[in-house]
A and B are shown apart, each in its own frame.
Chain A
């Protein structure tokens, strides 16, 4: 028995970064908004309090704030034709669950993408020729340029209080910032964090090689701050408990710290937590999304919430899955390359290398999740790709994000795994090592996509999302190239011992943590046949349905995605409140 509720103006599915931002903008515009969140209604003062939150076993190893795979997981296979099997425990990536979503447990990395990333296909074709891009590399331009999105990047940085140093202020390049970034209209809201010893070593080495190091744009912020919405944030304590944890001092920007204190007070907003959405009710004849069905996980009762406007704001995977479960749009078929829902699933191609310094005290435990020094010299198209056999590049960076001892103990190659020699080496090197990383772009490939699994089901009996994904030729070549560049930088730091470079060689493995930068599946585009949403993130199949999040990225650049996810949320919110609400209908004709 489905209980049909009274219609509301808008329903937002998922209250993480995009859902909380959009809900607040809609509430400000006077709409009555219902927010449906499948997880618990977490509160920072109660759920992220010290000392309990500084518990590595419960939060980092057992992943208390991560999506519960027993409720819903994904299946994975490398190629069409193989049998996908469920990811029974999360490892490679950690989606969020509960109020704040993955925005609660992130590291606070708040980049803008490069202007190049926004016009990927056309810029590659312009520089390397029309036929340079392989047929199977299904990359596409974004539907808005960097300059168009710039005010919205800025708005998200101001919401977060991001700490950093501008490298391009209105066209003037500034040493010490990222000189490769697109022009900014304003500097970061807060000064950069205190640099770590690892960052200082990296910076010196990068400069010696003629590169352009800059500090991470960090939403683990350097000073107390009140954001434009009125949320009050604290200064970072460098406690080393960011990713997988909630922040005890509200110094890490999150929906919980930065938006919800305001949103939850708004009389236009109603939160329904523990409400698991099962379907968007779609009327094919009128091409409207009419309601959202969900199960109250505390009672098992199913509800249908009708609404004039529906916003799908869950994680990358759930956005795609709900579109497929609701029968909206055409599922992507890799054989015929038709359909668009599930297309262009992308990830991040990472390559770490451990370094050991006998005479340096690294103090990895005095860190934040966004505490590195970085270079963009090998990112995007900032270097010539002629003859390299791949496109894209990587963010190369070094600096510990934590010193938590269960998971943060690298040892020199050849050290025994256990026994006295292992203990000796662990005691010797724990405070004397850190890693250099290359976070590489992941460009869309015809064979990497998402669809519904034919066999495995979630706790409510609905098909799981199936991931068909592997590292492709571009990924492996890119990874080998940037890992070598990172190694050169590592050598210039003059470590006592260098671990091996680890470019991506084997197949994608669901177990070791790599990155929670999953993108695509409901991509933006100019053509309804090859994309799911238009440039305002409005569904081609239902005018009153908007899809927000990294699921709209046509491919994943090297920079971490959250800055762009937040910017796109403000971009879509503005289109909805200033244009759509005045004249509901298609915002782009096609």
Chain B
């Protein structure tokens, strides 16, 4: 069931000692998928950040994000884990770059809490927001579970993220639900964006949903393929450069 177009070398690259854990999760996942059960927590191992050098994340931040992304996107027949798809590399580059430093973000005060419908009102750049959010999440995880988030079992990680998603995680001076949204959005961006940004390695998510990517020239195909399945091997920006 593993997509054979993903080279196994890439699949495990960067997983380090977690390689066996990934493989174990994968096989238990396959079994679990067959009967619709959630994966066993037996495969729990601390998340391992990627082996690529990081631009801005600390090792602790990378471990946290790796554990979050692997919970959102576990390895299974559709793709490797979030970390092995490159999501930590993706967010590290984004946070180190213009967006992470506050580009295209109105950052003048005064800063007032406002109504939820008035949108994000903190002075923090995305880089600062991630730093503070990760610290708050780990403090809450220690208080609630006794360990930082990345050392929780997969089942506890999933439960912790669901608590945040439901607005029930009481972070100190930090909105846990909004932080969860930001983490989730970053995972979706990294997983589905063009591979030039470091996530979506080998166009794995595009293959998963059968999105053909580029060059997207369908002037004649629009009629020919209407209502029919399209099987085009996805191409990305790097493929066409």
A positions within 8 Å CB-CB of B: 50-52, 54-57, 61-63, 68-70, 73, 76-78, 83, 85-89, 91, 193-197, 200, 235-241, 360-361, 363, 365-366, 403, 405-406, 409, 417-420, 422-424, 426-427, 430-431, 455-457, 506-511
Of residues 215 to 238 in B, which have CB atoms within 8 Å of A's CB atoms? 215-219, 221-223, 225-230, 236-237
With a CB–CB cut-off of 8 A, which chain B residues contact A509? 116-117, 119
Binds A, one of B9-17, B57-65, B67-75, B136-144: B67-75
Q: Is the CB of A430 within 8 A of B219?
A: no
B226 touches A197 (CB 8 A): yes
Decide if B73 touches A423 in the complex (CB within 8 Å). Answer: yes
Indicate whether A406 sits within 8 Å of B189 (C-beta atoms), given known contacts A238-B218, A424-B33, A431-B209: yes
Residue pair B218, A431 in contact (C-beta under 8 Å): no
Contacts A418-B72, A423-B73 given: A88-B106 contact, CB under 8 Å?
yes
Give 6 A-B contacts (CB < 8 Å), ordered by A residue.
A194-B222, A238-B222, A363-B226, A419-B38, A422-B72, A510-B118
Cα-based distance from A457 to B215 in the complex (angstroms): 42
Q: Which of B72, B158, B209 has the largest number of chain A CB atoms within 10 A? A: B209
A-B contacts, CB under 8 A, total: 186
Report Cα–Cα, A482/B7, bound state, in Å. 50
Residue of B32, B104, B205, B216 with most chain A CB atoms under a 10 A cut-off: B216
Contact B72 A363 (CB under 8 A): no
Instruction: Give Cα distance in the complex from A62 to B194, angstroms.
Output: 13
A52 touching B189 by the CB < 8 A rule? no
Interface residues of B (CB under 8 A from A): 29, 32-33, 38-39, 71-74, 76, 78-79, 99, 102-108, 110, 112, 114-121, 158, 161, 165, 184, 187-189, 192-194, 196-197, 205-206, 208-212, 214-219, 221-223, 225-230, 236-237, 240-241
The reply to whether B110 and A240 contact each other, CB–CB distance below 8 Å, is no
- Judging by beta carbons under 8 Å apart, are A418 and B73 in contact? yes
The answer on a CB contact under 8 Å between A457 and B118 is no
Q: Are A239 and B119 in contact (CB under 8 A)?
A: no
| Complex contact B216–A418 (CB within 8 A) | no
CA–CA, A365 and B211, complex, Å: 7
Tell me how far the C-beta of A317 lies from the nearest C-beta in chain B, rounded to whole angstroms: 14
Quick check: B79 and A423 within 8 Å, CB to CB?
yes
Instruction: Determine whether the beta carbon of A57 is less than 8 Å from that of B117.
Output: no
Q: How far is the CA of A106 from the CA of B119 in the complex (A)?
A: 24
Are A431 and B189 in contact (CB-based, < 8 A)? Answer: no
Residue of A nearest to B111 (CB): A85
Q: Which residues of B contact A195 (CB under 8 A)?
A: 226
Contacts of A83 in B (CB 8 A): 112, 114
A241 to B215: give the CA distance in the assembly, Å.
11
For B239, give the chain A residue with the smallest CB separation.
Answer: A51
Query: Do B33 and A51 have beta carbons less than 8 Å apart?
Result: no
Nearest-CB residue, chain A, relative to B102: A70
Contact of B217 among A197, A239, A361 (CB under 8 A): A239
Complex Cα spacing A240 to B230, Å? 15
- Closest Cβ of chain B to A197, distance in Å, is 4
Residues A61 and B189 in contact in the complex (CB < 8 Å), given A86-B108, A366-B218: yes
Inter-subunit contact B223/A194 (CB<8 Å): yes
CB of B209 within 8 A of CB of A405, answer yes
Q: How far is the CA of A51 from the CA of B99 in the complex (A)?
A: 22
| Chain B: CB-nearest residue to A510 | B119
Complex Cα–Cα for A86 and B119 (A): 9
Residues from chain A with Cβ under 8 Å of B189 in the complex = 57, 61, 406
* Pick from A54, A406, A430: contact of B215, CB under 8 Å: A54
Chain B: minimal CB distance from A321 (Å): 15
Chain A residues whose CB sits within 8 angstroms of the CB of B211 once the complex forms = 365, 403, 405, 430
Question: Does A507 lie within 8 Å of B115, measured CB to CB?
Answer: yes
Q: Which of B121, B221, B237 contacts A52 (CB 8 A)?
A: B237
Contacts of B108 in A (CB 8 A): 86, 456-457
CA A29 to CA B192, docked complex, whole Å: 51
Contact between B206 and A88 (Cβ–Cβ < 8 Å)? no
Q: Contacts A62-B99, A510-B118 given; 16 further ones with Cβ under 8 A?
A: A51-B241, A54-B237, A55-B194, A70-B103, A85-B119, A195-B226, A236-B219, A238-B218, A238-B221, A363-B225, A365-B216, A406-B193, A417-B184, A420-B74, A430-B211, A510-B117
Residues in B whose Cβ lies below 8 Å from that of A363: 225-228, 230
Q: Are B215 and A51 in contact (CB under 8 A)?
A: yes
A406 to B206, CA, bound (A): 10
Are B237 and A55 in contact, with the CB atoms below 8 A?
Answer: yes
Instruction: Kindly state the separation between the CA atoms of A328 and B222 in the bound complex, as whole angstroms.
Output: 51
Given contacts A363-B225, A366-B221, contact A57 B216 (CB under 8 A): no
**Distance (whole angstroms) from the CB of B190 to the closest CB of chain A:** 9
Residues A237 and B219 in contact, CB atoms below 8 Å apart: yes
| Smallest CB separation, B189 vs chain A (Å) | 6
Q: How far is the CB of B173 from chain A (nearest CB, A)?
A: 19
Specify which of A68, A194, A236, A406 is in contact with B188 (CB 8 Å cutoff). Answer: A406
How far does the alpha carbon of A87 sit from the alpha carbon of B119 in the complex, in Å?
A: 7
A85 touches B105 (CB 8 A): no
Q: A417, A418, A426: which has the most chain B beta carbons within 10 Å?
A: A418
Contact A87 B223 (CB under 8 A): no
List residues of chain A with CB within 8 A of the CB of B229: 361, 431
Asked whether B106 lies within 8 Å of A70 as measured between CB atoms, the reply is yes
